[in-house]
């Protein structure tokens, strides 16, 4: 029997968008999101493969109001608008379907469900087996002997389906499909804002319809004084809301009589317009679909052939300590390039930290993947010669982690040439999706999981066994096959990413800054910082004493004891008992967040005490008790992870623990730095860039006043106050300088009059006037801000001085707030990103210089514009000179870079 497939376009796009958002937030090179389109097509192709239908149509909703909106004003009134990232993909999927010659039906005044209902019944009458593809269970009412509803679920990029036919509906609900309309009439639907009978939920509604069959029958029985099973409040609610019940039933009934011009013949599947589909898929970077449907053009034949080789390469399992491996490694040396992959398992280091252990080594050589288990430390030592060979370029994934794990085995990696993760980050710094399998899917169109499935290899085995057998050495067949595919494709992926980096003018940034930085950050993690554990514990005891004192003071001011950490109890004390100013009370109670408390802290001394209490509580829990588990038992040092693929602007970030985020705005927070010390016989050398972002702004904007201030060594904040207020620079007060400083640092980040007013405690009118006067005096900055946003709109991205690129699709958003964010990012990125690049380059140059001079010095920490060395005391002066020189000469701008250098016996005293 012939088949008809009907697709609920909006529903499937919505499912695909959220199903793929976490694992594959795909986008084009111009920054257009494509994940929903990709997922929609994956779901569509699956049903086409499964059912092989002769007829197909996709129904979409239109924005115009329907008959239901006219019938009931509140219909769908509580629905949030479609996210811009999804809305922007709707025209794209329609264009793709059009090029595939698939019929699209949109009918003004009707919903997609009505179109699906009408066509499904028409198809059934014409003797077709009908499948409705929808994520909306409202369509269950349409099921019959020849109509099935298929519900897809997209999870981690994989599509699963569940079919509902007439019998399954009876089994699940105990009703005929058509009776589900009756259930909705009673229960209502919050997503569509269909009211139903207030107080009647799904369980009661199902029970009533199972007993009486229909809403009409229920009211017939009720009005005749029967319906004995309907009692008490349920009976009351039913009688009071009869009109709502019938209205809701009408609203929930799918219209089966939509005037659709298209015939079944129009819905017949046709040949695609392959050239157009190919161009669309190419633009959308859907390489997997191009390959799957043999759409590749002549100019792309080489890539296509390469991709088809994924299943034909040879894999050899050999021992690391075998003679054959020695011969393979010698050939790699001759090639001068090592494509490799280290597989690891996780081991719990302590309650906070996970340590990894290398358990296998795979490498690619001339179309053969050699795969070896690392059974002991001796086996790993065999790799020492190749890993430490400076002439062999290392190509891999997440090389920082590899460097550290190998260093722990006394293997010091050399010539870290190409890290796939870093390359992908430079090409798309805002996605935060750089898993190796995802990158192969995105850039090569290769779905590793799909290939494994085609080979009959289950991924479930991997998940159940955590990728390895109990002894942590023998991998499952699936894992062996997976890592072989990953290693094999590294060569293709490196080639593709390198081409993309060249197109983006980012190869120099990649090879001269980012790749050398991998080694620097790996060394910083390995080196760590010594932490005086006893002093930290003592500091924690001091905090607890102060917290006890504060608690007593807060209770006295409140006139009673209460749970200070309870938002509800605190709100009651502040706003009901003490009658302090509050915003409107919500269902959850009063807001007691920092912003709320800051606004009322002058109304009562208790507020200041509560703010201080919270600061000390966080300091103790996050940075004292929270930091202790991270102290390595062997080294007595904190070994933070330093990341270079997290921030959109290129800044380095730190985790486990985050040493860059230790609070410094109040003295007790700063004192926490005292517990970080150099080892005996060594000293900390600390260097900090002076106003680097403002200096970069002066260079990029070429504003004459800013350039003059930095070239002449003037106080930039005093100069700003002088210019804006029209007073001599020597008459500028401390308060005026502070206000100018807030504008200087805030202006380029798009600070608003509201934000400045809040910060300075002045009116919005005064703040607006201050900003306008500032931009009038510093016209070069005003021009830069305007020009950079316009340029970003035009080309879709902004760049730093080192060509670090950030795409800004937000500038095209329909949402004003999203567009404003995009504008701020356009102004901010060239400044903050260039500052990050300069710091990275300084670190790279410093690492190189320390190697050359053989100084007993290590980089142990980088925090924004600050760099810390741990140096042998006898060599501190030479280290100071090298550090200052590397930082100040990382780049030559129109204004000088200045670095303040200090020395100290702990981090607190370093500045």
The residues with which 355 forms a beta bridge, in sequence order, are 347
How many of the other CB atoms lie within 10 Å of CB of 622?
Answer: 15
Show Cβ contacts of residue 230 under 8 Å, excluding neighbours closer than 6 positions.
Answer: 208, 218, 221, 222, 238
> Nearest-CA neighbor of 775 among 788, 766, 784, 765?
784
Of 21-25, 63-67, 367-371, 477-481, give the lowest mean pLDDT range.
21-25
Locate tokens 């510093």: which residue? 778
Compute the mean pLDDT over every residue in the chain, rounded to the nearest whole number: 86
Strands 103-105 and 55-59: parallel
Q: Is the pLDDT of residue 41 over 80?
A: yes
Q: Which two tokens stand for residue 278?
A: 């190919």
Q: pLDDT of 281-292, one tens digit each?
A: 888 888 778 878
For residues 439 and 424, the answer to whether their CB atoms sit within 8 Å is yes
Structure tokens belonging to residue 736? 């005026």
Q: pLDDT tens for residues 378-418?
A: 888 889 999 999 999 999 999 999 999 999 999 999 999 99
DSSP assignment of 140-204: GGG--SSEEEEEEEEETTEEEEEEE-HHHHHHHHSS-GGGHHHHHHHH-BTTTTB--STT--HHH
pLDDT of residue 73: 72
Q: Is the pLDDT of residue 444 over 60?
A: yes
Q: Tell me if residue 52 falls in helix, strand or coil.
A: coil
Degrees, nearest 5: CA angle 496-502-503: 90
pLDDT at 548 over 90: yes
Taking alpha carbons only, the member of 745, 741, 750 closest to residue 827 is 750
Enumerate the H helices of 356-466 as residue ranges. Answer: 377-381, 384-387, 399-407, 420-427, 436-444, 448-454, 460-464
Residue 31: its pLDDT value, please? 66
Measure Cα distances from 437 to 37, 208, 420 in Å.
Answer: 20, 51, 11
Cβ neighbourhood burial of 340 (10 Å; 0-12, 13-18, 19+): buried
A 10 A CB-CB count for 348 gives 9
Q: Check whether 622 has a pLDDT greater than 50.
A: yes
Question: Coil, helix or strand for 267?
Answer: helix
Dihedral sign of CA atoms 298, 303, 304, 305 in order? positive
Question: What's the full length of the chain, in residues?
Answer: 911
Is the predicted pLDDT of residue 591 greater than 50, yes or no?
A: yes
Pair of tokens at residue 111: 């919903």
Q: Is the pLDDT of residue 774 over 90?
A: no
In 10 A of CB 433, how many CB atoms? 18
Map tokens 């201050």 to a residue: 770
pLDDT band of residue 24 (cuts 50, 70, 90) is very low
The dihedral formed by the CA atoms of 485, 487, 492 and 494, expressed in degrees to the nearest 10: 140
Closest CA to 358 of 408, 315, 394, 392: 408
Contact 14, 135 (CB under 8 A): yes
Residue 466: pLDDT above 60? no
pLDDT (average), residues 44-55: 92
Tally of CB atoms within 10 A around 787: 12
- Of the chain, the percentage scoring pLDDT greater than 70 comes to 92
How many whole angstroms separate alpha carbon 480 and alpha carbon 765? Answer: 66
Q: Can you give the pTM of this predicted structure?
A: 0.70
Q: Is the pLDDT higher at 751 or at 825?
A: 825
Cβ neighbours, 10 Å, residue 371: 21
Q: In sequence order, which residues have a C-beta less than 8 Å from that of residue 427 and are 6 or more positions away?
A: 497, 500, 501, 504, 506
Q: What is the mean pLDDT of residues 826-838?
A: 93
pLDDT at 798: 94
Q: Which pLDDT score is estimated for 80?
A: 62
Residue with tokens 């909306």: 136
Query: Token digits for 106?
Result: 């949109």
Strand order through the sheet with 103-105: 103-105, 55-59, 3-8, 129-133, 147-155, 158-164
The answer to whether 403 and 519 have CB atoms below 8 angstroms apart is yes
pLDDT given at position 186: 87
C-alpha dihedral (365, 366, 371, 374), degrees to nearest 10: -10
Q: Minimal CA–CA distance to 116: which of 60, 157, 180?
A: 60
Which among 93, 138, 145, 91 is positioned nearest to 113, based on CA atoms?
138
pLDDT recorded at residue 801: 96
Residues 6+ apart with CB under 8 A from 892: none
The band of 606, judged by pLDDT with boundaries at 50, 70 and 90, is very high
Main-chain phi, psi angles of 337, to 5 degrees: -150, 130
Is the peptide bond between 686 and the residue preceding it cis, with omega within 30 degrees of 0? no
Q: What is the percent of the chain where pLDDT is above 90? A: 46
Q: Is residue 81's pLDDT more than 80?
A: no
The rounded distance, in Å, linking the Cα atoms of 287 and 281 is 7
* Averaged pLDDT, 732-740: 86
* Helix, strand, coil share (%) of the chain residues, nearest 5: 55, 15, 30
Nearest by Cα to 696 from 770, 777, 779, 784: 784
| Structure tokens belonging to residue 519 | 């080694």
Q: Is residue 240 within 8 Å of residue 26, measured between CB atoms? A: no
Which of 51-55, 212-216, 301-305, 636-640 is predicted least confidently?
301-305
Listed in sequence order, the residues at least 6 apart from 561 whose beta carbon sits closer than 8 Å to its beta carbon are 555
Nearest residue to 848 via CA among 564, 599, 513: 513
Residue 891 above 60 pLDDT? Answer: yes
What is the separation of C-alpha 181 from the centre of its chain, rounded to a whole number of angstroms?
40
pLDDT at 697: 93
Average pLDDT over residues 91-107: 93
Rounded Cα distance between 410 and 358, Å, is: 14
Higher pLDDT, 233 or 40: 40
| Rg over CA atoms, the chain | 33
Query: Does the pLDDT value for residue 848 go beyond 50?
Result: yes
């Amino acid at each position: 029997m012939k088949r008809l497939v009907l697709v609920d376009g909006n529903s499937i796009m919505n499912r695909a968008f959220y199903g793929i958002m976490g694992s594959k937030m795909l986008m084009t090179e111009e920054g257009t999101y494509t994940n929903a389109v990709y997922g929609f097509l994956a779901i569509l192709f699956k049903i086409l493969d499964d059912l092989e239908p002769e007829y197909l149509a996709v129904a979409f909703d239109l924005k115009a109001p329907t008959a239901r909106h006219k019938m009931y004003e509140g219909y769908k009134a509580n629905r949030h608008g479609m996210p811009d990232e999804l809305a922007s993909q709707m025209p794209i999927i329609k264009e793709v379907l059009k090029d595939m010659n698939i019929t699209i039906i949109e009918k003004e005044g009707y919903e997609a469900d009505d179109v699906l209902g009408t066509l499904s019944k028409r198809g059934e009458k014409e003797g077709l087996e009908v499948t409705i593809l929808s994520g909306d269970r409202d369509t269950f009412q349409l099921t019959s002997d020849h109509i099935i509803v298929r519900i897809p679920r997209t999870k981690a990029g994989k599509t699963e389906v569940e079919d509902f036919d007439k019998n399954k509906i009876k089994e699940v609900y105990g009703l005929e499909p058509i009776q589900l309309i009756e259930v909705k009439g009673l229960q209502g639907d919050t997503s569509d804002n269909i009211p139903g009978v207030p107080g009647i939920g799904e369980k009661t509604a199902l029970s009533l319809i199972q007993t009486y069959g229909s809403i009409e029958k229920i009211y017939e029985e009720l009005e005749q004084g029967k319906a004995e099973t309907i009692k008490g409040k349920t009976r009351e609610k039913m009688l009071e809301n009869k009109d709502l019940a019938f209205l809701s039933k009408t609203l929930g009934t799918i219209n089966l009589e939509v005037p659709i011009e298209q015939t079944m013949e129009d819905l017949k599947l046709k040949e695609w317009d392959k050239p157009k589909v190919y161009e669309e898929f190419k633009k959308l970077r859907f390489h997997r679909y191009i390959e799957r449907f043999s759409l590749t053009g002549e100019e792309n034949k080489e890539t296509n052939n390469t991709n088809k080789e994924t299943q034909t390469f040879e894999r050899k399992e050999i021992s690391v300590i075998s003679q054959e491996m020695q011969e393979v490694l010698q050939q790699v040396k001759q090639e001068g390039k090592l494509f490799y992959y280290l597989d690891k398992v996780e081991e719990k280091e302590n309650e906070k930290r996970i340590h990894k252990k290398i358990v296998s080594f795979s490498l690619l050589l001339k179309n053969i993947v050699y795969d070896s288990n690392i059974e002991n430390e001796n086996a790993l030592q065999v790799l020492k010669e190749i890993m430490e060979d400076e002439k062999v370029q290392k190509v891999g994934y997440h090389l920082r982690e590899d460097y550290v794990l190998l260093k722990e085995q006394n293997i010091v990696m050399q010539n870290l040439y190409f890290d796939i993760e870093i390359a992908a980050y430079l090409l798309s710094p805002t996605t935060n999706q750089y898993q190796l399998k995802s990158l192969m899917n995105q850039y090569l169109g290769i779905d590793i999981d799909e290939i494994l499935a085609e080979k009959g290899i289950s991924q479930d085995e991997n998940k159940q066994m955590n990728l390895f057998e109990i002894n942590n050495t023998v991998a499952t067949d699936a894992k062996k096959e997976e890592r072989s595919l990953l290693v094999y494709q590294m060569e293709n992926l490196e080639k593709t990413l390198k081409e993309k980096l060249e197109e983006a003018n980012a190869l120099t940034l990649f090879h001269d800054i980012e790749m050398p930085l991998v080694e620097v950050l790996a060394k910083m993690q390995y080196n760590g910082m010594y932490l005086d554990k006893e002093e930290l514990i003592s500091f924690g005891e001091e905090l607890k004493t102060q917290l006890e004192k504060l608690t007593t003071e807060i209770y006295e001011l409140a006139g009673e004891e209460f749970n200070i950490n309870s938002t509800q109890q605190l709100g009651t004390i502040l706003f009901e008992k003490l009658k302090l100013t509050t915003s409107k009370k919500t269902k959850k109670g009063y807001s007691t967040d920092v912003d709320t408390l800051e606004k009322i802290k002058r109304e009562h001394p208790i507020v200041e005490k509560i703010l201080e209490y919270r600061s000390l509580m966080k300091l103790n829990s996050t940075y004292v008790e929270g930091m202790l588990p991270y102290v390595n038992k062997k080294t007595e040092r904190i070994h933070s992870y330093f990341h270079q693929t997290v921030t959109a602007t290129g800044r380095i970030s730190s985790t486990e623990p985050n040493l860059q985020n230790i609070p410094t705005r109040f003295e007790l927070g700063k004192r926490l730095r005292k517990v970080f010390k150099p080892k005996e016989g060594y000293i900390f050398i600390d260097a900090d860039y002076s106003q680097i972002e403002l200096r970069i702004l002066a260079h990029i904007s070429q504003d004459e006043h800013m350039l003059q201030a930095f070239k002449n060594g003037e106080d930039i904040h005093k100069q700003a106050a002088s210019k804006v207020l029209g007073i001599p620079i020597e008459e500028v007060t401390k308060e005026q300088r502070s206000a100018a400083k807030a504008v200087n640092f805030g202006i380029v980040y798009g600070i608003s009059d509201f934000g400045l007013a809040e910060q300075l405690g002045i009116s919005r009118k005064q703040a607006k006037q201050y900003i306008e006067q500032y931009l009038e005096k510093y016209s070069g900055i005003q021009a830069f801000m305007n020009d950079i946003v316009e340029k970003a709109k035009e080309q879709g991205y902004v760049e730093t001085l080192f060509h670090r690129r950030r795409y800004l699709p937000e500038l095209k958003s329909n949402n004003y707030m999203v567009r404003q964010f995009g504008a701020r990012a356009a102004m901010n990125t060239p400044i903050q990103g260039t500052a990050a690049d300069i710091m990275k380059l300084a670190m790279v140059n410093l690492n190189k210089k320390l190697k050359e001079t053989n100084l007993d010095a290590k980089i142990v920490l980088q925090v924004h514009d600050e760099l810390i060395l741990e140096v042998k005391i006898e060599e501190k002066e030479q280290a100071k000179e090298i550090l200052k020189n590397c930082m100040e000469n990382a780049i030559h701008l129109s204004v000088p870079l200045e670095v303040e250098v200090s020395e100290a016996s702990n981090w607190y005293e370093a500045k």
